[in-house]
Homo-oligomer: A and B are copies of this chain.
Amino acid sequence: MTCHTCINAEDGRLSCLSRVPVFTQLSDAEVDLLHSVMQTSHYHKGEFIFREGDRSDSLFVLNRGIIKLTKLEDNGKEHILRLLFPGDFFGQFALLQEKPHYASAQAADTTDVCRIYRKDFLDILRRSPDTAARFMTALSGQLEEADGWAAVLTLLEADRRLAKMLLYFRQKFDPSSAEFTLPVSKKELAGMIGATPETLSRKLRQLTENGIIAVSNRKLRIIEEAALRRLAGEISPQSDNI
Which residues from chain A sit less than 8 Å from chain B, CB to CB?
A: 69, 71, 73-75, 79, 81-82, 92-93, 96-97, 102-103, 122, 125-126, 129, 132-133, 135-137, 139-144, 146-151, 153-156, 191-196, 232-234
Given A135-B136, A139-B139, A147–B144 Cβ distance below 8 Å? no
- A132: chain B residues within 8 A (beta carbon): 125, 129, 132, 136
The smallest C-beta distance from A172 to any residue of chain B, in angstroms, reads 17
A196 contacts across to B, CB distance below 8 A: 156
A140 near B71 with CB under 8 A, answer: no
Known contacts being A129-B126, A154-B79, is A144 close to B93, with CB within 8 Å? yes
Give CA–CA (A71, B144) in the complex, Å: 11
Instruction: Select one of B73, B97, B137, B141 contacting A140, CB under 8 A.
Output: B97
Instruction: Answer whether A233 and B139 are a contact pair too, CB < 8 Å, given A125-B132, A126-B129, A191-B154.
Output: no
Which residue of the partner chain, among B122, B147, B153, B191, contacts A194 with CB atoms under 8 Å?
B153
Partner of A96, one of B82, B136, B153, B155: B136
